[in-house]
């Protein structure tokens, strides 16, 4: 099938710069207190004033990335500074750990046992450094990632969710994010320890979480990677698996590791086979690898972000192989996305659908839904399809 990839690139760029970005640029930067507001109804009316610290780091990253790679608009750099200053002033507890949520004016509300807030702040700092050349931003990115590495390699810093004396589980998400943040920091600061950490994360994912015999990447395993016979141990998050797959693809391309790349593409295809709703189309949020009931009641929801991660992974796979099967899958997912997630006549797109593809609600932002997965995907897809159309590689 003959495709005009320049049209694919234009379609994603038009939505990115004509829909998503104007919404967040207009409504998100808080002109009164700094930082980013994120709880919006369908036309930008604020319904949630408290600020997600995840979204502070993610939005700092987004505005900086837009400035660096999509036209250098002054308003994007100003919006980035709005978040950079707020994070530095309000988002860290006295012990150096970052909050999960603060009030609109920066008072602490929630501090969790995890360090994903740090992950997104590091990514934001690194991209802001690229935009400004501000040495302080680079120093903050490196120092905060060093703290993440300490947390990652020091069991017991935070109280575990499950009593480790009874059951020592390992979770996929923290390994994935450590790998991705290391890739980000490596872009501004060459250090062998980042390559070593990425190698360790790759080895952990491939040896513990990927189960060849079951054709799946699992979310939770035992301490030594053993399969757990429980709803938690059988749980597959297809979107998460595909996000990890393309992080690993980036590394495979960076290292020129063909075997790793082929394994990543296999995980992608497994995840699509498991996650695709064969009755109503779209990607299910959670599935049980044995087809047993999933205890999370949101299992059958169709969220925008897993579809975004799937499209990125498929586009990279096609860029690498030029194998038509990846574009067949891509077109199927793109068709579903365009049919169900746009909010006709209103800015931004829906984030959460029922299984039948109808919106659960019409909000455009919350603690969990913001300008990250969709904006990141549409930025990358614009760049990937431009590269394919020009018969170029992408410099991962």
Which has the closest alpha carbon to 52: 374, 371, 376? 371
Strands 210-211 and 302-303, bridge-based pairing: unpaired
Q: Answer whether 357's CB lies under 8 Å from 340's CB.
A: yes
Distance CA(219)–CA(289), nearest Å, equals 11
Ordered domains of the chain (ranges, CATH): 1-28+214-396 (1.50.10.10), 38-159 (no CATH)
Distance CA(187)–CA(176), nearest Å, equals 17
Backbone φ and ψ for 160, nearest 5 degrees, come out as: -65, 150
Which residues face 40 on adjacent strands? 46
Angle, alpha carbons 10-12-15 (nearest 5°): 105
Q: Answer whether 124's CB lies under 8 Å from 69's CB.
A: no
Which residues face 29 on adjacent strands? 36
Distance CA(273)–CA(275), nearest Å, equals 6
Rg (CA), the chain: 20
| Cα 156 off chain centre by | 26
Residue 159: its pLDDT value, please? 86
Could you give the C-alpha distances from 260 to 17, 191, 200, 266, in angstroms and in order? Answer: 34, 22, 14, 10
The secondary element (H helix, E strand) that includes residue 48 is: strand 46-48
Which residues face 393 on adjacent strands? none
Residue 337: its pLDDT value, please? 98
pTM above 0.85, yes or no: yes
Would you tell me how many other CB atoms lie within 10 Å of the CB of residue 31?
7
Distance CA(116)–CA(99), nearest Å, equals 10
Would you tell me how many other CB atoms lie within 10 Å of the CB of residue 212?
10
Residue 394: its pLDDT value, please? 73
Which residues face 283 on adjacent strands? 276
Angle between helix axes 53-69 and 116-132 (nearest 10 degrees) is: 30
Distance CA(78)–CA(63), nearest Å, equals 9
Q: How many residues does the chain have?
A: 396
Q: Which long-range contacts (CB under 8 A, 24 or more apart) does 130-137 make?
A: 130/64, 130/68, 130/187, 130/188, 131/64, 131/67, 131/68, 131/77, 131/80, 132/77, 137/84
Would you tell me how many other CB atoms lie within 10 Å of the CB of residue 73?
15
* Residues 6 or more apart in contact with residue 130 via CB below 8 angstroms: 64, 68, 187, 188
Backbone φ and ψ for 130, nearest 5 degrees, come out as: -60, -35
Q: Answer whether 184's CB lies under 8 Å from 256's CB.
A: no
Residue 395: its pLDDT value, please? 67
pLDDT in tens, the chain (396 residues): 789 999 999 999 999 999 999 999 999 999 999 999 999 999 999 999 999 999 999 999 999 999 999 999 999 999 999 999 999 999 999 999 999 999 999 999 999 999 999 999 999 999 999 999 999 999 999 999 999 999 999 988 998 888 888 988 999 999 999 999 999 999 999 999 999 999 999 999 999 999 999 999 999 999 999 999 999 999 999 999 999 999 999 999 999 999 999 999 999 999 999 999 999 999 999 999 999 999 999 999 999 999 999 999 999 999 999 999 999 999 999 999 999 999 999 999 999 999 999 999 999 999 889 999 999 999 999 999 999 999 887 766
Distance CA(17)–CA(48), nearest Å, equals 25
């Amino acid at each position: 099938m003959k495709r005009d990839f320049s049209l694919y690139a234009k379609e994603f760029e038009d939505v990115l710069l004509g829909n998503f970005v104007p919404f967040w640029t207009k409504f998100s930067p808080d002109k009164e207190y700094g930082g980013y507001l994120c709880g919006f109804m369908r036309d930008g009316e604020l319904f949630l004033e408290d600020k997600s610290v995840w979204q502070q780091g993610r939005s700092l990253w987004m505005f900086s990335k837009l400035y660096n790679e999509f036209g250098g608009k002054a308003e994007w750099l100003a919006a980035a500074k709005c978040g950079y200053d707020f994070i530095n002033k309000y988002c860290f507890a006295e012990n150096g750990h970052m909050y999960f949520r603060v009030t609109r004016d920066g008072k602490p509300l929630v501090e969790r046992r995890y360090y994903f807030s740090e992950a997104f702040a590091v990514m934001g700092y690194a991209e802001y450094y690229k935009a400004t050349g501000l040495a302080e931003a680079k120093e903050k990115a490196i120092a905060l990632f060093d703290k993440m590495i300490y947390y990652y390699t020091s069991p017991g810093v935070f109280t575990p969710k499950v009593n480790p004396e009874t059951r020592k589980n390992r979770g996929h998400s923290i390994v994935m994010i450590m790998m991705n943040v290391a890739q980000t920091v490596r872009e501004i600061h060459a250090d062998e320890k980042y390559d070593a950490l990425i190698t360790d994360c790759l080895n952990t994912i491939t040896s513990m979480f990927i189960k060849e015999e079951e054709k799946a990447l699992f979310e939770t395993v035992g301490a030594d990677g053993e399969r757990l016979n429980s709803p938690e141990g059988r749980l597959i998050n297809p979107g998460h698996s595909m996000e990890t797959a393309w992080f690993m693809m980036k590394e495979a391309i960076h290292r020129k590791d063909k075997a790793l790349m082929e394994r990543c593409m296999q995980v992608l295809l497994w995840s699509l086979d498991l996650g695709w709703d064969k009755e109503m189309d779209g990607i299910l949020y959670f599935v049980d690898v044995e087809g047993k009931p999933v205890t999370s009641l949101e299992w059958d929801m169709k969220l925008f972000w897993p579809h975004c991660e799937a499209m990125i992974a498929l586009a990279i796979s096609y860029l690498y192989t030029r194998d038509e099967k990846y574009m067949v899958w891509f077109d199927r997912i793109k068709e579903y996305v365009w049919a169900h997630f746009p909010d006709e006549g209103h800015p931004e797109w829906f984030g959460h659908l029922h299984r039948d593809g109808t919106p659960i609600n019409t909000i455009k932002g919350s603690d969990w839904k913001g300008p990250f997965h969709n904006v990141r995907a549409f930025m990358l897809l614009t760049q990937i399809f431009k590269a394919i159309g020009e018969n170029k590689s992408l410099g991962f």
